Structure 1
Amino acid sequence: MSDSRYSYDENAEVWPYFVLTLLSVVLIPATLIAYSRFTSKKETTDAYKSTFKPDNDADIQKYRTKLKRSSLFTKLNVFVFFGWVAFAGLIYLITIQEPSADGAKIFDPYELLGLSYSASDKDIKSSYRKLSLKYHPDKVHELGNFTREEVEARFVEITKAYKALTDEEIRENYIKYGHPDGPQETTHGIALPKWMIEGTGSPVIVSLYAIFFGVVLPWFVGKWWGSIQEYTKNGIHRDTAGLFFEEIIKDQPVFITHEKIVEFVSRAAEYKSLLPRLTPDDILELLNAHLERKTVKNELDKITVVARVPAILDGFLDIASAFKVPSLLTKIIEVRRAVIQAVPIKSLSSGELYQLPGATDAVFAATVTRVSELIKLPTAEAKKVLGTKDTAQTENAVNAAKNLPKITVLSSKFKVPGEEVVPPQSQVHLIVKFSISSPANTIPKFTEESLEEEETDALLRNPLSNSNKGPKLPYTIAPYFPVPEHTSWEAIVSAPGDKLVDGPAALTNGIITNITKESKLVTQDDIKVNTFKLQLSMMSPQFLGSFNFDVQLLNKTYFGLDLSLKVPMVIANPPESTEPEEDVYDIPDAEEDSLAGTMAQMKGEKVSKKKENEDEEEEEEEDLSDIDTDTDAEFESDEDDADFDEEEKKKK
């Protein structure tokens, strides 16, 4: 008769293991995510440490401290911390608890008889004889430390152990079921205390289940889904993206000015949650105050507004790329770096010098406008150009100028991987070889042969595998911007007539060549060559000839570091094979999932898909072949019969 009652974990022997397992399933992945976020800062080239402090530096430091604190005490980090505290508590509870006397015991006859597993039959009988005499119920008076019931139980165990090793039938039960008495009763329990299920705690547990599954879980799922719906993949609010999209359609991309872009930013939906008490006009006023380097009554509000701008403009950049107008992309990037460097919109042309630490409005009237010219001037003249307060501030600004990461293009070309020429209607890659160095360095020219890369099988399979490699570029020298921002470029490929072909594509990594070196000339051995590749989304032109494309590398954080290149794309047919026709075999097209197929696709050639019913087609061919053979045999048989009849007639 089965027992319908449940057994409960009253002594906390099982439920800690159960809770520990469930906690581990959630806690370990959460810890890995938190750790990856903490260590997500890839290797970064050291940035120049400027000594200049703006007027609102104290407020900027307050904001940075607040930002660090908020990034440390995130919901995930708090959960991980308390999760590991609970984990340690459960481990401690498991280690201090004592096993219950009622717990299941493994029946080991050798242990009960005090024997080793290699004991002989003689040893078994000898040990049994001694123990049975010692623990016989009639001698309970000699064992003062045991009760009669304990002695009887021990005597029964000794007897079972002896029979399990000597009696064939009992030994078979022991081998088969692990116990001389055969199958033992198996109990199944609930790994929770009884009071939580059947006692006063039962309504509480049911209520907690109802609250969790009926309120808490739907709320979290709804909030998560709402956040996904509210923000685009680029991290900007959907209302902000919709606003910018509508404005582009209404005003046309070519008529959108820098001032308009700043106005669009002030109307971003992000600020409704960040600073709900401020109107778009208030935000626009704070943005203009930052660009003019003016202090306001509430500097923290201004800093909060400014810190969000680059992310919003990055979203604008992605939306604008769909309209295929390079000039609009350029304006967005110019506004982005104007915000980071606190340069007025009306003075963007002077931004290259005005962005230097300590530079004042004096640069607007200066005849020197380029960093390359400034670093050649004596300190006294540089001080006049920049309008700095003293010699120390001037030297700091000039040193910052020498540490700007300047790109020097060593070679640029369009190429189809594995081909010597660019065939018509093929998949083309833009390949730019470049170095990053100080404006004080002069980079020597490289021969085209020295920059050629070996096209290995791995590189042919993934031509972009060696693109944008190296450590992340250094943080931007931007004393007025509250958030650390890495230097980066956006590559834009356009055709004549302000038509976007591809991009923007981010260039964020690279090895810097002697960026602080003072020498005017370096050798090729000192140069660290970097590679940037961009796979064009369009196929190459279908007509033969030379087509010029404009390639722009626009810096997102500094003025004066942009590059504009004219890169020709020469379309030519691949050289024909010189082998005789008789040596050319009928080779089928390469399959699409093979290396040859990948190369053929890049060239614009046809590739064959894997045949699914290949065997069936072969069988059909065999059947047709059999039919033809049988038919031929019938024809031959009829001809033979006709010849035989003719010969018979002649004989007659």
Structure 2
Amino acid sequence: MSSDYNYDEEGYLWPFFVFTLTTIITLPMTYMLVNRTRDPASLFPRIQSDYRPKHDDLVAAQKAKDKRAQRKIGLTLAVIAGWAVMGYMLYLIQNTEVPTQTLWNPYDILGISESSNEQLIKSTYKKLSRKFHPDKIRPDPAKNETMDDLNARYVEISKAYQALTDEEVRNNYIQYGHPDGKQSFSIGIALPKAMVSDGNGRYVILVYFILFGILLPYLVGSWWYGTQRQSKEGVLMESANRLFREYEENMDEGGVITALSTGKEYEEIFRGDKVDSGLAKIESRITAAGTGSPFACGMSVKEKEKLNNLDNGVRRKVLSLLWAYLGRVELDDEALERAKFQVAPIAQALTKASTAIALAYSNTTPILASYYASQRIIQAIPPKASPLLQLPHFTPEVAKALDGDSKIPMSVQKFMDQPDSKRRALTTEKGLLNDKQYKTALDVAKQLPYLRVAKAFFKVTGEKFIIPSSLVTLVVKGRFIPPGSEKVPQINELDLEDIDPAEDDLDALLGRTPKKPVGKTVDGKPIMPPAKEDKPILPPLAYAPYFGRDHSPRWHVFLTDSKQGKMAVPPFTFTQFDKPILEADGKTPTFAMQTLKAQFQAPPQAGHYTFVMHVVCDSYVGFDTKMEVTLVVEEASRAAEMAAEDEISEPDEDSIAGIMNAAKGGAPPPKKKKAVEEDDSDEESGTEEEEDDTSATNTDTEPEN
């Protein structure tokens, strides 16, 4: 037995090989391309408004450019080429006749059926033997026959007869499929022989060298360098290092914005003459006198000094453009206006790295400053400026008139909580806004997703008390109530509870929506509805008419120690919710109670721990919540004693539980004796109050400074 290796000289097999190889490469690349091409923002609802700010065309162009940047031209061309090759290979496969190898069958050679008996086999063999014997038959020139063909035919007839009559030959045929026993086999290599024929070998080697010696190492190196070049927050490592050097323990929002100008990503935008072009004009505009602030861009004197001390041309221009963007300063130059809207999305992306650095140090002030800087950048509002600038047509002049002599800027919620007559008296009747502008601003305000926290508490799933080092769940209950909402329903107290699921309730334990039967079969079995794909409940995209990128709001929940000014529990980020936020019209709020949960390990010692809980939205100014929460950690032994004291007692005879117990066949206990006099009852009621099974919480919110 031997094995023969031969090349696909006739071109039968290589299209299959090329098609398979191309499919393995093209399909994953197609999946990547489709994911990059698909617009994620299409899944999110949007805040409905016809307001279009000045330079809306530049903002829209920046959004389109940002989406195009997610797509790779090289990847697109590779996918197109891959599908073209696959199509051509399919054409070759369908239009090329592939020779098929027939199995050796003695019955077919003799021309008889497999049910023939021994007598028929012998008679047929004798006839064929006499007919095709080499001594009696001559080649037919018309059929291009030769004596070798006839001899081979006679040998095949003899072997077929032996395979059916001779025991040893028949065993070979049954076991190996051939009367001569185990045969040699050939392996066809799916490459045309021309590729390895004399003279072409060096070209094949060259192709292999390019593929495996140059292209493959380049792709692997590019992937590895890309992973090492960027941090997990998606910014360049060099930018993260620069932000790390700019970190200060007491940095505020202005300090964060100054630090964001160090990003290396800006260097790809401003090269050569673009660095100094228009810089003097930008600085003259942003440092002009402003309304309610020393400068038109809203920066402080301290931030202006930092700008003047910068020597780096790129960083100085970026910081100037950032302040021009935040202050909505007109630059009267299309190229500068375009650059102004181009730097803002980069700066907002860098806030993620700034937040990560602040979290590593655990200082509360820089952490909040990073989150607040993100809000200001998305809304194009300078630090300390009025939150009312988030509404359409509101300008610093309008906001200053509404604030009056107050040092604390009016929030959107406070403005919308006033009666309509008073709001009109402050705006339209004073000529600050016309009636159409006023209605547009109110329409947007009534759609902004303000998460109003109703209750926050700690618990351990399945337990009544929290013991040291246990896995604690912080449960935050709240509703999305847009500013100015009317007819807000009262809170259902049952919605504020967090009931543990039963041990056998797999749907609840796995977070699946339980299915209710829609009917019953003839046998009485429940009919379940067809399975539906659970779509995520997403909040509307951030209303940010000046921001050149679609952004999904994120809510960050974390605990801090107000005495030490340190973070106690790292942030938990929420982008999806468990209940619908809007009705089917995409505009009317549902006021459904939302539940946010964050798990962390309890302190190792028992005691009362008071934290400050922050619920911060990264997209809107003044929509944050700050409140005190108290975590009560009991000693394990003390918790066991209280659990034993709190065991469920036997139900009273006249209670509903007692009646149900009696219905089950149990004997209800005797009624409790009533106190004869009210005074005696009062005297005996001096027992200690039963302790709550969850940690105490102060749910009064405090305004953000």
TM-score by length of 2: 0.71
- Whether 1:262 aligns to 2:257 is yes
1:253 equivalent to 2:319? Answer no
Aligned residue for 2:497?
A: 451
Output the CA distance in 2 between the equivalents of 1:569 and 1:463: 25
Task: Tell me by how many angstroms 1:38 deviates.
Answer: 5.5
1:578, distance to aligned residue in structure 2 (A): 4.9
Matched, 1:421 2:465: yes
1:20 aligns with 2:19: yes
For residues 107-155 of structure 1, what are the alpha-carbon distances to aligned partners after superposition, in whole Å with 9 as ceiling and x for unaligned? 1334444555555546655765676677676566789546345555445
- The residue that corresponds to 2:217 in the other structure is 218
Which of 139, 145, 148 is residue 147 of structure 1 equivalent to?
Answer: 145
The amino acid of 2:315's aligned partner reads: P
Match of 1:305 among 343, 350, 359: 343
Alpha-carbon distance change, 569 to 578 in structure 1, aligned in 2, over 3 angstroms: closer
Tell me if the contact between 2:374 and 2:619 (Cα under 8 Å) persists in the aligned partners: yes
Q: Which residue matches 1:356?
A: 391
Q: Which residue number in structure 2 is paired with residue 377 of structure 1?
A: 420
1:57 to 1:539, Cα distance in 2 relative to 1, 3 A: same
In 2 relative to 1, CA 443–219 (structure 1 residues): closer, same or farther, beyond 3 Å? same
Deviation string 1:603-646 (CA, Å, 9 cap, x unpaired) is xxxxxxxxxxxxxxxxxxxxxxxxxxxxxxxxxxxxxxxxxxxx
Q: What is residue 92 of structure 1 aligned with on the other side?
A: 91
3-state SS in 1 of match to 2:70: helix
Aligned equivalents of 1:267 and 1:235: distance in 2?
16
Q: Is 2:385 aligned against 1:323? A: no
Secondary structure of the residue aligned to 1:253 is coil
Q: 1:568 aligns with which of 621, 625, 630?
A: 630
1:204 corresponding residue in structure 2: 203
User: Per-residue deviation at 1:356?
Assistant: 1.7
Deviation of 1:475 after TM superposition, in Å, equals 0.6
Aligned partner of residue 322 in structure 1, secondary structure: helix
Matched, 1:495 2:568: no
Q: Distance in 2 between matches of 1:427 and 1:82?
A: 54
Shift of 1:413: 0.5
Distance, in Å, in 1 between the alignment partners of 2:38 and 2:232 is: 23
1:257 positional shift? 2.5
CA offsets, 1:386-409, max 9 Å, x none? 988754443232211111112132
RMSD: 3.8
3-state SS of the aligned residue for 1:181?
A: coil
Which residue identity lines up with residue 454 of structure 1 in the other structure? D
Which residue does the alignment assign to 1:338?
376
Q: Give the SS at the match of 1:107.
A: coil
Structure 1: unaligned runs, 5 residues or longer: 580-652
TM-score for the superposition, normalised by structure 1: 0.76
* Secondary structure of the corresponding residue to residue 433 of structure 1: strand
How has the CA–CA distance of structure 1 residues 276 and 506 changed in structure 2, closer, same or farther, with 3 Å as cutoff? farther
Aligned pairs for 1:148-167 (under 5 A) are 148=146, 153-167=152-166
- Aligned-residue identity in percent: 30
Q: Is this contact kept in 2: 1:422–1:570, CA < 8 A?
A: yes
Deviation per residue, 1:36-77 (Å, 9 max, x gap) = 556694994521232122222222222333333343445444
Deviation at 1:311, TM superposition (A): 1.5
Cα 1:205–1:144 shift into 2, 3 Å? closer
Q: Secondary structure at 1:474's aligned position in 2?
A: coil
| Pairs aligned (count) | 564
Higher helix share: 1
Instruction: Give the direction of change, closer, same or farther, for the CA distance of 1:81–1:344 in structure 2 (3 Å limit).
Output: same
Deviates more, 1:299-308 or 1:372-381: 372-381
Q: CA deviation at 1:282?
A: 1.1
Summarize the Cα distance change of 1:405–1:115 in structure 2 as closer, same or farther, 3 Å threshold.
Answer: farther
CA shift for structure 1 position 552:
0.9
1:236 matched to which residue of 2? 235
- Find the counterpart in structure 1 of residue 698 from structure 2: none
Name which of 284, 302, 321 aligns with 1:286: 321
1:359 Cα deviation from its structure 2 partner? 2.5
Shift of 1:479: 1.0
Q: Which runs of 5+ in 2 are unaligned?
A: 276-313, 404-409, 514-533, 646-705
Q: CA deviation at 1:449?
A: 7.6
Is contact 2:2-2:185 (8 Å) kept? no
Counterparts in 2 of 1:395 and 1:112: CA distance versus 1, 3 Å: farther
Contact 2:33 2:76 in 1 (8 A): yes
Which stretch of structure 1 is more off in the superposition, 382-391 or 58-67?
A: 382-391
SS in 1 for 2:456: strand
The CA distance in 1 between the partners of 2:240 and 2:429, in whole Å, is: 41
| CA distance, structure 1, for counterparts of residue 223 and residue 587 of structure 2 | 55
Give distance in 2, aligned partners of 1:457 and 1:194: 67
Quote the offset at 1:448 in angstroms. 5.6
Cα displacement (A) at 1:295: 4.2
State the alpha-carbon separation in 2 of the partners of residues 88 and 68 from structure 1.
Answer: 30
Say whether 1:534 aligns with 2:578: no
Of 615, 621, 625, 1:559 maps to 621
Say if 1:155 and 1:426 are closer, same or farther in 2 by CA, change over 3 A: same
Aligned letter for 2:609? F
SS of 2:547's equivalent in the other structure is: coil
Q: 1:463 to 1:106 in 2, by over 3 A?
A: closer
CA distance in 1, matches of 2:26, 2:618: 39
| Preserved CA contact (<8 Å) 2:398 2:432 | no
Instruction: Quote the Cα distance in structure 1 between the aligned partners of 2:454 and 2:611.
Output: 17
Residues 364 and 566, structure 2, Cα contact 8 Å, conserved in 1: yes
Q: Does the 8 Å contact 2:411/2:622 carry over to 1?
A: yes
1:405 pairs, out of 433, 449, 462, with 449
Distance 2:592 2:5 in 1: 73
Asked if residue 486 in structure 1 is aligned to residue 552 in structure 2, the reply is: yes
Quick one: which amino acid aligns to residue 575 of structure 1?
A
Does structure 1 conserve the Cα–Cα contact (< 8 Å) formed by 2:477 and 2:496? no
The range that moved more, 294-303 or 548-557, is 294-303
Q: Name the counterpart of 2:103.
A: 106
CA distance in 1, matches of 2:71, 2:53: 27
